[in-house]
Amino acid sequence: MGEEIRQSRFSEADHARYRERLAAETALLARWFAEDRFAHEAPVAGFELEAWLLDSELRPAPRNAEFLARLDDPMASPELASFNFEVNGTPQPLRGHAFSAMHGELARTWQRCRAAAAGIDCRIAMIGILPTAENEDFSLANMSQMARYRALNREVVRLRRGRPLVLDINGIEHLRVTHRDVMLEAAATSFQIHLQVDPAQAVRLYNASLIASAPLVAISANSPWLFGKNLWDETRIPLFEQSVAVGGYAGARFGPIRRVTFGSGYVRHSLLELFEENQEHYPVLLPEDLGEVDPQLHHLRLHNGTIWRWNRPLVGFDAAGRPHLRIEHRVVPAGPSIPDAMANAAFYYGLVTSLAEMAVAPESVLPFNRVRDNFYSAARHGLRAAIHWQDGCTHPLPELIRDALLPLARAGLERLEVAADDREQLLGIIAARNATGQNGAAWQRAWVDRHGRDMRGLTAAYLERQDSGQPVHEWTL
């Protein structure tokens, strides 16, 4: 969850002080890697779910302060826009009935959220991009009342020297709009999957997460519509990348490195490489005065939170203050249902576990530029995409998922000792979604093909099916 800061305006002295402390904490982190200070434990699973508040017309309802006050849950927090919120899951050891536990917790939390929203005459939705949202909704008037977000917007505008942000997406149709703030980021909501890793496996698991991103974004795609335009299967991807288009440093100059990015290459030796890249290539956006260099790396972690890799490395601490490493897999959209979200997580965990344990590392035979191209092709075309795989051939994604990736995911979950009923139920959802071709994006387009471009009607039909608890491959039109 995004931590609040105390101030929203900064001087050059603030930036200079922060850069100095960031450098010191990055050096401290390097010592931890050299000294093997991180926790060596079995994998741990977790998640964050971003969602929407809707009014009686199924339009964005900018009332998250009232909603969160009524919900009164420390695991929930506001997002950038006042019509979005986030809920977090309790970390679970990734074995046994971990998925049943996560499903039960999320179902109970979601029910409490529905009740809290109903108390202020609102509804809630988990969907990548809300079809009824309009360009005018993403104004500063609808920004959540947090200094963090005001500061983020001010710094992005400053770094762009006042140039407007241009959203230009070519999909089935074409959308081009102009904004002067970061609020378009709020149009994209996701289901972020966390994996706490043993440092000895971190490099292989991180690179496996990069490789798995294409099939994960395709099988889970749920964001085809933005402002009434039919765009990518997972339009969140270009939307988020363009909505915070600030860039980073290239050498001594402000350059083209993106803050929302698939990355610049595989990790070679340790996840430290990514944090060093953060310090060297990305300007500080939130130079909050956090005190002196901190053994809990507050400067480093806050800076890392303003660089949105689709697979982001994280440093966390347990109750005893011992550091651990996590990977945050960010490619999956919110929704369409809780069973779908759990199935996406199971597919991810199983697949990356198997990829990371292959005798021949997939990253040694599959070039990074191919993996990056796979990701954007899968985000654009979903299950209609064909991707390059480690055998040197290009495969239609449904065939690759059926013949290679689902068996790998099943073997990975077995390796993790996930309960057989959990893994078979959840991978069965992935298999059925893959066989029918009906993910959230396909269902939304099919509904519009049958009923017309009625975004309110689409949202109402979507919510009815989401509330039923059925996975999306079973949804009717």
Q: Tens digit of pLDDT for each residue in 217-240?
A: 999 999 999 999 999 999 999 999
Q: What percent of the chain has pLDDT over 90?
A: 85
Mean per-residue pLDDT, 84-105: 98
Q: Which pLDDT score, from 0 to 100, does residue 221 have?
A: 98
Mean per-residue pLDDT, 92-118: 98
pLDDT at residue 340 greater than cutoff 90: yes
Measured CA to CA, the distance from residue 79 to residue 68 in angstroms comes to 11
**Band of the pLDDT at 2, cuts 50, 70, 90?**
low
Give the bridge partners for 92, in sequence order: 45
**Which one is the CATH code of 12-474: 3.40.1350.10, 3.50.50.60, 1.10.10.10, 3.30.590.20?**
3.30.590.20
Q: Contact 199/334 with Cβ under 8 angstroms?
A: no
Measured CA to CA, the distance from residue 380 to residue 171 in angstroms comes to 7
pLDDT at residue 359 greater than cutoff 50: yes
Per-residue tokens: 70: 């009524």
72: left (phi over 0), alpha (psi -120 to 50) or beta: left
pLDDT at residue 247 greater than cutoff 60: no
Q: Which pLDDT score, from 0 to 100, does residue 4 have?
A: 58
Measured CA to CA, the distance from residue 268 to residue 271 in angstroms comes to 8
pLDDT at residue 16 greater than cutoff 90: yes
Q: Which pLDDT score, from 0 to 100, does residue 255 have?
A: 45
Q: Which pLDDT score, from 0 to 100, does residue 217 have?
A: 99
pLDDT at residue 254 greater than cutoff 50: no
- Element containing residue 175 per DSSP (H, E): strand 174-179
3-state SS, 78-119, equals: ECCECCEEEEECCCEECCECHHHHHHHHHHHHHHHHHHHHHC
Q: Contact 135/227 with Cβ under 8 angstroms?
A: yes
Start-to-end CA distance of the chain, whole Å, equals 36
pLDDT at residue 248 greater than cutoff 70: no
Which of 222, 231, 147, 129 has its CA nearest to residue 184? 129
Measured CA to CA, the distance from residue 78 to residue 317 in angstroms comes to 23
Domain chopping of the chain, boundaries: 12-474
Q: Which pLDDT score, from 0 to 100, does residue 5 have?
A: 60
E strand intervals along 273-376: 308-309, 311-317, 323-329
Which of 372, 61, 288, 313 has its CA nearest to residue 194? 313
Q: Which pLDDT score, from 0 to 100, does residue 388 have?
A: 98
Among 18-32, 159-173, 179-193, 318-332, the range scoring the smallest mean pLDDT is 159-173
Mean per-residue pLDDT, 187-202: 97
Give the bridge partners for 249, in sequence order: 254
DSSP letter string, 216-247: HHHHH--B-EETTEE--TBTHHHHHHHHT---
Q: Which pLDDT score, from 0 to 100, does residue 158 have?
A: 81
**Band of the pLDDT at 256, cuts 50, 70, 90?**
very low
Per-residue tokens: 290: 């956090």
Q: Which pLDDT score, from 0 to 100, does residue 339 have?
A: 98
DSSP letter string, 51-62: EEEE-TTSSB--
pLDDT at residue 171 greater than cutoff 50: yes
Q: Contact 374/214 with Cβ under 8 angstroms?
A: yes
